[in-house]
Chain A
Amino acid sequence: AQTVTQSQPEMSVQEAETVTLSCTYDTSESDYYLFWYKQPPSRQMILVIRQEAYKQQNATENRFSVNFQKAAKSFSLKISDSQLGDAAMYFCAYRALYSGAGSYQLTFGKGTKLSVIP
């Protein structure tokens, strides 16, 4: 079974600075998707960024970028120029690529609570 591990329960960053959130995962699959979701106090799960395992290039979305190390099964999220609105829980998630029983479900890590200090 796939597992997703986020080893940092809490992180903090100064406004305008850069922070990196860690995520590792375990899978026997060679093709899959990885996601970072943001959950602010409103509870809404918001997709931040996604990465296809078959793509070597790291995904980037504005101030958010990932460092995807497939061999190491590592998928960290870098937030540049941190803003107060970035304060939230961040969840790393995994999904297998191919169809099959349960293959479309997401497996989540336990989350990292990010605080942004003004």
Chain B
Amino acid sequence: SAVISQKPSRDICQRGTSLTIQCQVDSQVTMMFWYRQQPGQSLTLIATANQGSEATYESGFVIDKFPISRPNLTFSTLTVSNMSPEDSSIYLCSVFPDIQNYGYTFGSGTRLTVV
């Protein structure tokens, strides 16, 4: 299965600033997903990122707040913009390696604290 390097692993940020999270995959993958996991909660899908097209955002998430880039089949970034304490969460990327392989691989997550 694919191996994902997610950076940073954690950060503490001032409110009003932005943080960009990176996910690098060791192989080409069709689909990448970005999830948010609020403290003590389950994972909520933010958006699906496909190479060469705009990301598809889920209800409650907007591009201005969570811009996503997917410049190639091995890399994606998620930016959390104009942060507030409510954005304090774990953010995880996930990849869907292969249409025929229904397994998903996750990055190790980014623990974000906004103060």
Contacts and interface: CB of A to CB of B under 8 A. Distances in A.
Contact of A44 (B31, B103, B104, B106): B106
Contacts of A50: 102-103
A105 B92 CA distance: 13
Contacts of B45: 105-106
Nearest to B103: A47
B48 A104 contact: yes
A42 B106 CA distance: 12
A47 B41 CA distance: 18
Interface stretch (A22-30, A54-62, A73-81, A107-115): A107-115
A47 B42 contact: no
Interface residues of A, number: 19
A12 to B, nearest CB: 17
Nearest to A47: B103
A11 interface: no
A52 to B, nearest CB: 8
Contact of B48 (A43, A45, A102): A102
B42 A91 contact: yes
Could you say which of B48, B56, B92, B104 has the most chain A C-beta atoms within 10 Å of its C-beta?
Answer: B104
Interface string B82-98: 00000000101010100
Contacts of A109: 42
Contacts of A105: 33, 45, 48
B43 interface: yes
A42 B108 contact: yes
A64 interface: no
Interface in A66-118: 91, 95, 101-102, 104-106, 108-111
25 contacts: A43-B90, A43-B109, A44-B106, A44-B108, A44-B109, A45-B43, A45-B92, A45-B106, A47-B103, A50-B102, A91-B43, A101-B56, A102-B48, A102-B56, A104-B31, A104-B48, A105-B33, A105-B45, A105-B48, A106-B43, A106-B94, A106-B104, A108-B42, A108-B43, A110-B42
Interface of B: 31, 33, 41-45, 48, 56, 90, 92, 94, 96, 102-104, 106, 108-109, 111
